[in-house]
Amino acid sequence: MSDIAADQARVWLITGCSSGFGRELVRAAVAAGDRVMATARRPEVLGDLADLGQGRVGTTTLDVTDSASIKDAVEATLAVHGRIDVVVNNAGNLLFGAVEGFSMDHLRSQMDTLFFGAAEVTKAVLPHLREQGSGTIVQMSSMGGQVTFLGFGAYHAGKFALEGLSQTLARELSPLGVRVMIVEPGAFRTQINASKIVTPVPEAYHGSVGAFRTAIDSIRGQEPGDPAKAASAIVTAVHSGNPPLRLVLGGDAVDGIRAELASRLQEVADWEELSRSTDAAA
């Protein structure tokens, strides 16, 4: 089933449009002839995007940690554009710190944004997509939804959880004409590294987590990925009518995820005999 008639512009609802991927996705969707509801916790920062759209971009408040805000944003999109064809769960932030060092409140806050917020936006839009029998849910995950790095434990927890939920959702929605695409970017020149929340690193981890923080700080603003090119690739995949379940973006992500998957397969093979020995006797 086609997402939408070929002669009809898609309507996008995008979270976290104040900077980075969200802002570039608005531009890319408009350039492709689509209409967008751009959202942010402070929609006043989106005025230039509304001007760019020449009537095809609306703006509204959406805080993914506020249920009422999510409901209002979905209703506002339907009121302005009459439908939703693509929802992009892009809003996010980064908590950096050793697992032993960050608090449970830190972890819950990270999960609220990366996982529960995306899940609630998705659930708010699903009835409309099901009724249409079409649509695409774009989940902005990360290379960090497949590969782990020192100090990113809370971030990985949110992205791994989002990927598990989304892969299941994709299977549930496929018979209903609705698609799910999980996007896994590598390191891109967005604000997430510069604006990360850093928790105190316990002394035992100074040589590992602390050293890795120094390394990622040193590449700030010099990351290999271009957000505008990433946004264009996402729009291209959505417009293809048959987007992949996972869209990897950036050479570093391709290399890193490929190596991680190869390592997992090798470990399964190395321990296969012991693994199979636990089957019940026939």
DSSP assignment of 18-42: SSHHHHHHHHHHHHTT-EEEEEESS
Of 159, 166, 196, 232, catalytic: 159
35-40 and 95-96 beta bridge pairing = unpaired
Of 69, 134, 142, 155, catalytic: 155
For residues 279 and 128, what is the distance between their CA atoms, to the nearest angstrom?
44
Alpha-carbon separation of residue 174 from 85, 166, 183 (angstroms): 15, 12, 18
Cβ-contact 143, 260 below 8 angstroms: no
Residue 60, φ and ψ in degrees, nearest 5: -160, 165
256: nearest Cα among 143, 160, 140: 143
Cβ-contact 84, 3 below 8 angstroms: no
Is 159 part of the annotated catalytic residue set? yes
Is 263 part of the annotated catalytic residue set? no
Of 141, 142, 166, 232, catalytic: 141
Q: Where are the beta strands (DSSP E) in 120-223?
A: 135-140, 178-185, 197-198
Is 141 part of the annotated catalytic residue set? yes
The catalytic residues are 141, 155, 159
